[in-house]
Amino acid sequence: MCSIFGMFDLQPGDDLAALRRQALELSQRQRHRGPDWSGVFVDAGVILVHERLAIVDPASGAQPLRSRDGVLALAVNGEIYNHQELRSASAYDFTTGSDCEVINALYREHGADEFVEHGLPRLNGIFAFALWDGAAQRYLIARDPIGVCPLYWGHDIHGRLCVASEMKALVGVCADVAPFPPGHVYDSASGELRCYYRKPWRDYAHTQGHDVDAPVLRQAFEQAVHRQLMTDVPYGVLLSGGLDSSLVAACAAQFARHRIEEGDRTEAWWPRLHSFAIGLDGSPDLAAAQIAADALGTVHHGFVYTFWEGLDALPEVIRHIETYDVTTIRAATPMYLLARRIKAMGVKMVLSGEGSDEIFGGYLYFHKAPSAEAFHEETVRKLDALHSYDCLRANKAMMAWGVEARVPFLDLEFIDVAMGLDAKYKMAGQGRIEKAVLREAFDGALPASILWRQKEQFSDGVGYGWIDGLKAHAEQAISDREFAAAAARYPFNTPATKEAYFYRRIFEQHFPGEACAATVPGGKSIACSSPAALAWDPAFANAADPSGRAVKGVHDHALA
């Protein structure tokens, strides 16, 4: 994982030297994402800057990646998990061992006009990239289908298009800054933004009658974890002790002793799997993570943080994650602190459990789903929104310290398998715990106390005192008079609680203006639930707090 910055549509009279300096200065704002090396490419119509975090091919994979003839220049933030398969089938003259260079190869193989339809869909990975074709004076900008990798774009006062991995690189430069949509590509030749990721499973009717084959589901996830273990640097797993992170750790432990990049034929460079957890003293997650780690035999590191350490970090957390969403900030803060610990231990990549709740309906309000079709539609909607919430949190909180977070549940091949199931088999309630189909598929892989552990929001699991303390602090920090005037100060996405107001005030200091505020989705919700899902139970409509404990009648009573 890295960062990219691009400036396009330069004009003949532009001072390229001055623009190059400006591009470098703006890219430096996100250098925490790529502390290992910086690369710059300048042509008559474009400037590309890349800040590298070297995970695969540290010796020769510096970017921007150039074609042998110098025509193509590519800046990528991401990982292409099926790069070896694509590389072996290509006649392209590769110049590095970088997994990302296959993007140039696919562009050359299919041609500019066919690349979007036939090249991009072949990529299984997480990515945001800008590709410059000097011969055609044409550029493409694209983002992975789920939006695991962040990307923003906007125009400067001269009409130049700018793109960056993080919004902070565009603040003060682009008045119209906005997130680049996942699963889309922008082609300068047509000036159009096109969706390239379309899946039949989005329609519930397409999934009806597709029963669960537990061994197939299990194998699909194991293969996803295996693919994402490609690395040439020390790595680990985030292990909260919940179902999702524990399954990731269990699968990773199967493959840790062999080197994935060499087809499992040689011993891994770092054969002991390290796991990491964080929480307040006495947190549910720390206790559960130790049980899982003991069962899996990982080298486990459980870190304790204090409420005041978390509170002190909040301004930096909000600056890094670029949101004022309450749930996201609550969960991002301990993750940010954990990333700093992980970085200090020399680890540069971790596997994490994001995405499972969206795919399998793991949030507690899914217990109230009135039908399989409604359940399925909500999982699709949550996948569509994931780039604004959990993906944003995991990526930016970890990358604040130069640690890459990979998310096997969001592996594109696994998503096709899991989202292709009829949602009637995923439904919870009436004696059936959430994500039962996933738990059953991995029967015996984990201790029962972990495999069948009740769902906790991450910000609850690190210790209930964390959320309670944040609420109490906000009550003191925001006066009643300030809060009464919230709608006047923040007419867009007006904060519904003092805690939300507190976060919004910090966000505004770093990201002023309506465009920045509009990058954060609005609406009162429980765990980012949709208005339709809120209607599943009238009690939801009055719940402003997104904590898992706030879902009355479900938390700790899922099997009632």
Residue in 238, 166, 231 with CA at minimum distance from that of residue 409 = 238
Query: In angstroms, rounded to a whole number, what is the distance separating the alpha carbons of residues 199 and 440?
Result: 26
- In order, the DSSP letters of 184-240 are EEEETTTTEEEE----GGGSHHHHTT----HHHHHHHHHHHHHHTT--SS-EEEE--
For residue 450 the two structure tokens come to 């972990």
Residues annotated as part of the active site: 2
CA distances from 97 to 55, 83, 555 (A): 11, 10, 48
Give me the pLDDT at residue 379, please: 97
Q: What is the pLDDT of residue 268?
A: 83
Q: Answer whether 3-198 and 202-550 agree in fold.
A: no
Distance CA 183, CA 185 (A): 7
DSSP label of 432: B
pLDDT score of 61: 76
Q: Which CATH superfamily is domain 3-198 in?
A: Aminohydrolase, N-terminal nucleophile (Ntn) domain (3.60.20.10)
Sorted by sequence, the CB contacts under 8 Å of residue 207 that are 6+ apart come out as: 201, 376, 419, 420, 421, 422, 423
Q: Which H helix or E strand runs over 74?
A: strand 72-80
Structure-derived torsion over alpha carbons of residues 307, 331, 469, 488, reported in degrees to the nearest 10? 130
Confidence at residue 536, expressed as pLDDT on a 0 to 100 scale: 87
According to DSSP, the β-strands at 184-187 and 138-143 are antiparallel
3-state secondary structure of 397: helix
Q: Take residue 337 and report the two structure tokens written for it.
A: 């602190």
- Bridge partners (DSSP) listed for residue 368: none
CB atoms inside a 10 Å sphere around CB 83: 24
**Measured distance CA(353)–CA(411) in Å, rounded:** 11
Which candidate, 162, 126, 163, places its Cα nearest to that of 144? 126
Closest CA to 323 of 381, 391, 382: 391
Residue 110: exposed, middle, or buried by beta-carbon count in 10 A (0-12, 13-18, 19+)? middle
CA–CA separation, 224 and 220 (whole Å): 6
Q: Are 555 and 454 in contact (CB under 8 A)?
A: yes
Give the whole-angstrom CA distance, residue 158 versus residue 11: 10
What is the distance between the alpha carbons of residues 471 and 488, in angstroms, rounded to a whole number? 22
Which residues does residue 47 pair with via DSSP β-bridges, in sequence order?
7, 42
Predicted confidence at residue 539, as pLDDT, reads: 73
Q: Where are the domains of the chain?
A: 3-198, 202-550
Instruction: Give the whole-angstrom CA distance, residue 488 versus residue 494.
Output: 9
What is the crossing angle of helices 307-321 and 464-477, to 10°? 80
Residue whose structure tokens are 């289908």: 145
Determine if the peptide bond prior to 64 is cis (ω within 30°). yes
* pLDDT string in tens for the chain (560-residue length): 799 999 999 999 999 999 999 999 999 999 999 999 999 999 989 999 999 998 988 877 789 999 999 999 999 999 999 999 999 999 999 999 999 999 999 999 999 889 999 999 999 999 999 999 999 999 999 999 999 999 999 999 999 999 999 999 999 999 999 999 999 999 999 999 999 999 999 999 999 999 999 999 999 999 999 999 999 999 999 999 999 999 999 999 999 988 888 889 898 888 899 999 999 999 999 999 999 999 999 999 999 999 999 999 999 999 999 999 999 999 999 999 999 999 999 999 999 999 999 999 999 899 999 999 999 999 999 999 999 999 999 999 999 999 999 999 999 999 999 999 999 999 998 889 999 999 999 999 999 999 999 876 555 678 789 999 999 999 999 999 999 999 999 999 999 999 999 999 999 999 999 999 999 998 555 556 787 887 888 776 666 565 555 555 555 554 33
Cα(227)–Cα(220) distance, rounded to whole angstroms?
A: 11
Q: Where are the alpha helices (DSSP H) in 76-207?
A: 83-88, 102-110, 112-114, 204-207
Q: Using an 8 Å Cβ cutoff, are 292 and 247 in contact? A: no
**Whole-model pTM?**
0.95
Question: What fold does the segment set 202-550 form as a domain?
Answer: Rossmann fold (3.40.50)
Task: Give the number of other CB atoms < 10 A from CB of residue 35.
Answer: 16
Give the DSSP letter of residue 520: S
Q: What per-residue confidence (pLDDT) applies to 558?
A: 43
**CA 322, CA 105: separation in Å to the nearest integer?**
34
Check if the beta carbon of residue 367 is closer than 8 Å to that of residue 558: yes
Nearest residue to 556 via CA among 284, 210, 280, 164: 284
**What b/e string do you get for 111-121 counting C-beta neighbours within 10 Å, with b at 16 or more?**
ebeebbeebbe
Six-digit token string for 151: 């990307």
